Amino acid sequence: MEALQHSFSPPAGSVLWRRQFLVGVATAAYQVEGAVSADGRLPSIWDTFSATPGKVLHGDTGAQACDHYHRWAEDVDLLAALNVDAYRLSIAWPRVMDAAGRPNAAGIAFYRKLLQRLKDKGVRTSVTLYHWDLPQHLEDTGGWLNRDTIYHFADYADLMSRELAGLVDFWSTLNEPWCSAMLGYGTGHHAPGHADLGAANQAMHHLLLAHGLAIPILRRNDPASAKGIVINVGRGTTDGATPADQHAAELFELQHNDWVLDPLLRGRYPARLHTELWPQAAPNVRDGDMAIIAAPLDFIGINYYFRTNVRDDGEGGYVELPLAGVERTQMGWEVHPDGLCDLLVGFHRRYENLPPLYITENGMASDDKVVDGAVIDGQRIAFLNRHLAAVDEAVRLGVDVRGYYIWSLLDNFEWAFGYERRFGIVHVDYATQRRTLKRSAELVRDFLAKRRSMA
């Protein structure tokens, strides 16, 4: 473990040494851009939510964030200097369209300049259309509970894929629909702050429908790019000894993983979801909906962070019971690399039509500080080493994984946790906006430079 905290040197034969295996970094618009009212940008649900007292730690908002909207050129230079193959970013829907659905030229120009500079630097581009920042005016008419929102999303996907055709290597429709549905509509922990399981299930259905409608539009407008979706997955295990406890772990993964993957890859929701777990929460599904959702994909992005330990709750469901004595991050999440391998191999064996996979987010938060001009983030270095070893093992077992993106390039606005939790491999001093490479960034940079020299 000690050695893993001071080096980033994958063993010979590791998938990381393959030049075609993408190594990248990722961000999201609301978390880094700031400039929330600049150049015609409209309010999003996260502007509203973060401005509501008690919703975000310390009352933080994304109003300034990393000021990436103004500092994008230097940020591109910074990530290019890290020698990464690819950059994953998202487009802020409220920045590129007005309330009537008309294009906002200034917002579109921002993304065109950003993507062109990335191309000029030789960095491949991975663009997510929806990373949680729904325009507030759409939430005012029901948000993802209103079926009309899926058609607004299709119009948005059409506009952006026409405007940015040729500048995008990978289009992702949605980021983590589980979080949008469950945290935004089921528990209220995220914007827009609703707390109803029935609403979460209906929101999920509309999110997946929006995805399904967008895929053929992206294919038509930008045929040379790859099209997919990004999902967050969770490993559920139990330390309980009873069959009921094992059943509880299965139910955890059913609602966290199968709820999204089954409709995407099998054209149906898992039956147990609405018979065993949420019998009163089934969404309204119209004829033809599931065929739309199951549109063929070029890839699926996998976001993985931690394992969850559960036990039977005595009522046929599950209750989360955190394990004691395990390594955790600043978020309180257990560090469990084997869970990533287990999930990847499980998906590979379960879904015959599983497309190629990219690890589109993996990383950890720590309380990083600049000391004498340096940030020594040993736990993160070990975290990356161990999770990349887990990806290696999955590839050895037959899983088609083609890339890995570190979350995140920059410390940023971490949603309901504000600015306290730092996920970046680059430290951001929010008062001065000074960027400082952490030791993890330096090691990744040096490894990728060595890999290039050997190509």
Rounded distance, CA 161 to CA 214, Å? 10
Q: How confident is the model at residue 12 (pLDDT cuts 50, 70, 90)?
A: confident
pLDDT exceeds cutoff 90 at 455: no
Q: How confident is the model at residue 421 (pLDDT cuts 50, 70, 90)?
A: very high
List 176, 361, 393, 414, catalytic entry: 361
pLDDT in the model for residue 3? 60
Nearest to 133 by CA among 219, 53, 262, 27: 27
Rounded distance, CA 408 to CA 398, Å? 27
Q: How many residues does the chain have?
A: 455
pLDDT exceeds cutoff 80 at 248: yes
pLDDT in the model for residue 9? 76
Tens digits of per-residue pLDDT, 374-415? 999 999 999 999 999 999 999 999 999 999 999 999 999 999
For residues 98-126, average pLDDT: 98
Tens digits of per-residue pLDDT, 188-225? 999 999 999 999 999 999 999 999 999 999 999 999 99
Nearest to 205 by CA among 82, 290, 83: 290
Rounded distance, CA 348 to CA 419, Å? 36
Query: What is the CATH classification number for the domain harbouring 234?
Result: 3.20.20.80
Strand stretches in 63-217, DSSP E: 86-90, 124-130, 170-175
* Cβ neighbours for 3, distance < 8 A, ≥ 6 positions apart: none
For residues 418-423, average pLDDT: 98
Strand partners, 357: 300, 401
What mean pLDDT is reported for the chain?
A: 97
Rounded distance, CA 125 to CA 146, Å? 31
pLDDT in the model for residue 11? 81
**Quick one: what percent of the chain has pLDDT higher than 70?**
99
Is residue 225 classed as helix, strand or coil in its secondary structure? coil
Within a 13 Å sphere around the CA of 22, how many CA atoms are in the beta-carbon half? 28
Nearest to 22 by CA among 114, 125, 113, 119: 125
Tens digits of per-residue pLDDT, 161-186? 999 999 999 999 999 999 999 999 99
Tens digits of per-residue pLDDT, 423-453? 999 999 999 999 999 999 999 999 999 999 9
Rounded distance, CA 29 to CA 35, Å? 11
Residue 320 annotated among the catalytic residues of the structure = no
Rounded distance, CA 357 to CA 233, Å? 13
Whether 96 and 71 have beta carbons less than 8 Å apart is answered as no
Range of the domain at 37: 3-454
pLDDT in the model for residue 405? 98
Q: How confident is the model at residue 124 (pLDDT cuts 50, 70, 90)?
A: very high
Helices (H) and strands (E) in the chain, counts: 16, 13
Q: Structural domain tally of the chain?
A: 1
pLDDT in the model for residue 360? 99
Rounded distance, CA 296 to CA 298, Å? 7
pLDDT in the model for residue 1? 52
